[in-house]
Structure 1
């Protein structure tokens, strides 16, 4: 019930002045209230997120950035020359920053990066700051890996770790309109919300550590299944001779309505601007959709949760992902794979 009420009730707005004061309360006063930030992972999502962060924090603050792709770090510094430093490694980021944000592709990357950050467990002794660090991981990974990392951070006393996967894609990251689903202890929710609000529009606290990922994976599991079902239903009606727009219009005022039918309809021409109407370019890639589906299934099986459609859906997305005319496309391309009329 606690998680439901957290989602149902919008978080209270934080004014710009209160936001800055809230962030500053935890920062060392020995450096004239200047804050240091760390950002690890400057990929398609991380790069624009870090750019928005740099634009919204005070000019005198410093961000230490790091990515295994050194070209990405150099490009970020070129585009944001003020208050940005390139760290030699992730440990340097952790040593010099008070708030560390990570945006990484896979569970093994998160585990590897935080191993380097947290070992040896001497950040508080040898670190640049005396403030308790806040580690915010925005990667979409499995809750078990995230839990192991959180335990390592908390038991070593080197900082507070929260999971904060996001929704909104590259467009949302660029526009600063992301939605973050966070799993965090109550005492760090306000601080984490203030930080994430610099890069997004909504922050939803779903419960203790791990809850953000569980919510994200449950949602994306449902999304993956709805996407297949919508493609099948649309193909069914069109094969029967129904007009695609009329069929979609009927579905979207009826019980079959869902995000794939209303916003991301898989049939070309039904919704102007949708990936299907652009040759399935852009959008939520089928590879990413399949990755999240597999993470959700893995986490559910580890918890011994019964799933009726999981294995069928996973096998189907594996086929779609490998099909030559579907590779690298938006996940609504399942309609094409089903032989739908384009």
Structure 2
């Protein structure tokens, strides 16, 4: 069955199921069905009321096809759903627009199209950008969107596993008076919303956290490699670190040595998890934001070099960022 036929059948199924009752719809638009956005959109649609409407778009037609198949197979109800042919088309009737896109350039391009689709200004539209971009670019988009609604940033933590399970943590940059409206929307896709301050603050918080994570990950890999080369059992060493002052998320949850933490990517050949390319991207964004703020990051350049070199190594490319342990020559 062709893509257009399948998508149309899904739209007809949802619309027919609720077409006999007159109601006031809440209209949602979701743009960006990558690994994270795909699962977020699925959870949003499933947890919205049948009285709501959600319209979806991605430049990858195959992603829309797969999502249509999943929604059709689950028969879980939720909001009426339809699929759009462009970013401008998806948002025309939306009260809430949610975007989850890979890079700054994609966010800017998408919002240029979205904003051009509106024929009138509005104080009630809400734009929620869950992409991880630099705060200054986010503020630029927010300024452009201000005539058409309120733009907030809500980057998330939890990875694809959290997106699938609906357990993401969102770091929100938004006016405080909008929290009662925004939080219930985000909690349909996650389990925690941390309000960090005004627009742009969510991104600042995420990039500061991920900068620290990037450094801790390299230091953990180096410390584990050092101890193993001294003859220490890696599980014993991790046990010492995790009850001592070196304890951190990379040592305790995402330990880079295979077999130390059975659920960590290292124990499945570094598959899944947080890709090394994504860590490189977040480090780059943190460096940009730090320069704009006049903040010194003494370890950032060296960390970036380590991740860049590891990613270019065929043994490490495309794997979880803890694979720097392998790049350092760690015993597996």
Deviations 1:143-180 (A, max 9, x none): 111010001111x2x11100000000001001000000
Aligned match of 1:118: 115
Aligned match of 1:54: 45
Aligned counterparts of 2:51 and 2:67: Cα–Cα separation in 1:
18
DSSP-derived class of the 1:201 partner: strand
Asked if the contact 2:168–2:190 (Cα under 8 Å) also holds between the matched residues in 1, the reply is yes
Aligned match of 1:149: 141
- 2:195 equivalent among 205, 211, 219: 205
Aligned match of 2:31: 40
Unpaired segments of 5 or more residues in structure 2?
A: 1-21
322-331 vs 74-83, greater mean Cα deviation: 74-83
Aligned counterparts of 2:140 and 2:59: Cα–Cα separation in 1:
23
Deviations 1:224-264 (A, max 9, x none): 00000000001111111111111100000000000000000
Aligned match of 1:186: 176
238-247 vs 112-121, greater mean Cα deviation: 112-121
Deviation at 1:121, TM superposition (A): 5.6
Deviation at 1:87, TM superposition (A): 1.2
Unpaired segments of 5 or more residues in structure 1?
A: 1-30, 125-129
Deviations 1:196-217 (A, max 9, x none): 0111000000000000000000
User: CA RMSD of the aligned region, Å?
Assistant: 1.3
31-40 vs 251-260, greater mean Cα deviation: 31-40
Aligned counterparts of 1:200 and 1:279: Cα–Cα separation in 2:
28
Tell me, yes or no, if structure 1 residue 89 matches structure 2 residue 81: no
TM superposition outliers: structure 1 runs of 4+ over 4 Å: none
Aligned match of 2:298: 308
Aligned match of 2:105: 108
Asked if the contact 2:89–2:117 (Cα under 8 Å) also holds between the matched residues in 1, the reply is no
Size of the aligned set, in residue pairs, is: 305
TM-score under structure 2 length normalisation: 0.89
Aligned match of 1:98: 95
DSSP-derived class of the 2:151 partner: strand
Aligned counterparts of 1:120 and 1:276: Cα–Cα separation in 2:
46
Aligned counterparts of 1:191 and 1:262: Cα–Cα separation in 2:
36
Aligned match of 1:78: 69
Asked if the contact 2:92–2:118 (Cα under 8 Å) also holds between the matched residues in 1, the reply is no
280-289 vs 201-210, greater mean Cα deviation: 280-289
- 1:327 equivalent among 294, 317, 327: 317
* Mapping for residues 161-176 of structure 1, pairs under 5 Å: 161-176=151-166
Aligned match of 2:128: 136
Asked if the contact 1:67–1:73 (Cα under 8 Å) also holds between the matched residues in 2, the reply is yes
Tell me, yes or no, if structure 1 residue 248 matches structure 2 residue 246: no
Aligned counterparts of 1:97 and 1:90: Cα–Cα separation in 2:
12
Deviation at 1:131, TM superposition (A): 7.3
Deviation at 1:74, TM superposition (A): 2.3
Aligned match of 1:221: 211
Deviation at 1:307, TM superposition (A): 1.1
Aligned counterparts of 1:62 and 1:120: Cα–Cα separation in 2:
18
Q: 1:317 to 1:300 in 2, by over 3 A?
A: same
DSSP-derived class of the 1:256 partner: coil
Deviations 1:104-153 (A, max 9, x none): 000000011001111266244xxxxx771100000001111101000111
DSSP-derived class of the 1:80 partner: helix
Tell me, yes or no, if structure 1 residue 286 matches structure 2 residue 276: yes
Aligned counterparts of 2:179 and 2:51: Cα–Cα separation in 1:
25
Aligned counterparts of 2:326 and 2:192: Cα–Cα separation in 1:
34
TM-score under structure 1 length normalisation: 0.87
